[in-house]
Amino acid sequence: MIGRATVNGSVFGSPPQVRRAGGHGGFALIPLLPRRAAGLTALILLFVTAALPSSLASSATLVASPEPGWPQFRGPRRDGISDEKNLLQSWPAAGPKLLWTAQGAGRGFSSTIIGGGRLYVTGDFEAEVRILAYSLDGQPLWSARNGDAWLNQYPGARSSVTYRDGRLYHQNAHGRLACLEAATGRELWAVDLLARFRGENITWGLSECLLVDDRAVFSTAGGRDALIVAFDRTTGALLWKSAPVPSDKDPNAAQTPSYAAPILIEFADRRLIIGCGNRALYCVDASTGTIQWTRPRPTNYGVLAMAPVLVGDAVFMAAPLGPPGQLYRLIAPARPGDTVGVSDAWTNPIDTCQGGIVHVGGRLYGSTYPRRGSWAAIDAATGTTLYETAEFAKGSTMFADGRLYTLTEDGWMLLLEPTAEKFEVRGRYRLPGTSERTRDAWAHPVIHQGRLYLRYHDTVVCYDILANPS
């Protein structure tokens, strides 16, 4: 096994003067031999690699939802990347063609999702939060309550729903996790996370968009009884709970939840959940709940809000008002039964909040946080900032067909081409319902079957972005 890893065409890992090999007992460094011994070296490496456990030769991949559409926050893989092609490469001055507008979505920052041929969104209506279903032509179908609205600072619905096998999963700002029948909105089961696992709410309300796999729905409970928990997604029965993680501020207290959505990956023959407490990044075995590792990520206000980003066999995380953004490299266990390890790699000053970062073509794209913010392109292999612009306010972004679809928090929808040297603007228009005073357009763009879906509080809009409609 060669210890140098290729990440989207960029190589990083062990120094070039050594190759890494080992047996079941661990690693041994084999110096590079003279050219005349190259054949023998290759034979040795072939033998050693064949003797390695399969887990030591694995690479990390995101686990995608099997559902078609955009069935969860940030898409099928939770990476903010759409696989759709044949999309408009530039927009007219007024933006792409508006297909429909739907009013009545309530107050909220949650993004739309699309599953089972329908669109779903959450919104606050006075004292209650509701899940709403629409047809894909914008017709309202049903709405159902999931507990109380968030009435404190920045009122509005936080979490998007997740669709799986005809069911919806949603967690409200107070920790009520509910499973609903997607066809009707009928509640099938529910649990109060904070009460059950002795947790505490966070400053701006629980905001996690639930992760669902083949058998379970996962939630960062962040209580004194567990950091993260798994429920049977059909019955709601508890499958496992991880150990709690002590707070770095108070050893007698536990990590509370964060605002971030976790991701699900496969690495070293295991399914792993990478997510956040309020002051730490964590990695947990999705089958057992065993914590593999944690990394401290303290910030001034306990805000970890962006979803972690998979970069080859590493994970990138950033947050405002804390340490710089950092890449953490995953380390496969040396022996079966050992935990997955982690090591610190490069850092970069980017401090993205809730807008998300995408990893495309060996680069990371995202916005900074303070004041109006800026947008940056980062080399994913080295952490070097390649270029940056303060032309646009901070916001959320996704990628499709060579373009970044970027919604700034002040209400501008941008189509950006990330070239080798800069962000080229290929389209720009103001999102309906926003104005020069807007500073809270925080929902993420969604693309499905050549259509762009955007949400600003009570309004959901749909645009035709297909280049050559059939």
**Could you tell me if residue 295 is inside a domain?**
yes
Confidence of residue 58 (pLDDT cuts 50, 70, 90): low
Same-domain check for residues 48 and 59: no
What is the rounded average pLDDT of the residues 100-104? 98
**Could you tell me if residue 173 is inside a domain?**
yes
Question: Which residue would you say has higher pLDDT here, 78 or 58?
Answer: 78
Same-domain check for residues 32 and 98: no
Closest by CA to 452, choosing from 434, 470, 429, 433, is 429
Percent of the chain with pLDDT over 90: 84
How is 367-407 classified by DSSP, letter by letter? E--STT--EEEEETTT--EEEEE-SS--EEEEEETTEEEEE
Same-domain check for residues 324 and 399: yes
**Could you tell me if residue 415 is inside a domain?**
yes
Q: Domain range for residue 261?
A: 53-464
- Determine the residue type at 175: G
139: number of Cβ within 10 Å? 11
pTM of the model: 0.88
Number of domains forming the structure of the chain: 2
- Tell me the pairing of strands 211-212 and 187-192: unpaired
Q: Supply angle C-alpha 336, 338, 344, rounded to 5.
A: 125
Same-domain check for residues 32 and 64: no
Same-domain check for residues 365 and 409: yes
Same-domain check for residues 282 and 297: yes
H or E stretch including 38? helix 38-51
Same-domain check for residues 40 and 133: no
How many CA atoms, within 13 angstroms, populate the side-chain half-sphere of residue 85?
A: 0
Taking phi first (over 0 means left), then psi (-120 to 50 degrees means alpha), and beta for anything else, what does residue 158 get? alpha
Same-domain check for residues 311 and 338: yes
pLDDT at 245: 94
pLDDT in tens, 10-25: 323 332 222 333 332 3
**Could you tell me if residue 469 is inside a domain?**
no
> What gap in Å lies between CA 254 and CA 222, rounded to an integer?
7
Same-domain check for residues 278 and 259: yes
How far are the Cα atoms of 52, 186, 251, 336 from residue 268, in angstroms, in the given order?
Answer: 12, 39, 32, 10
pLDDT at 370: 87
**Could you tell me if residue 3 is inside a domain?**
yes
Question: Residue 7 phi/psi, 5° resolution?
Answer: -120, 105
**Could you tell me if residue 470 is inside a domain?**
no
Same-domain check for residues 21 and 168: no
> What gap in Å lies between CA 371 and CA 350, rounded to an integer?
13
Q: Fill in the DSSP letter of residue 335.
A: S
Residue pair 139/106 in contact by the 8 Å Cβ criterion: no
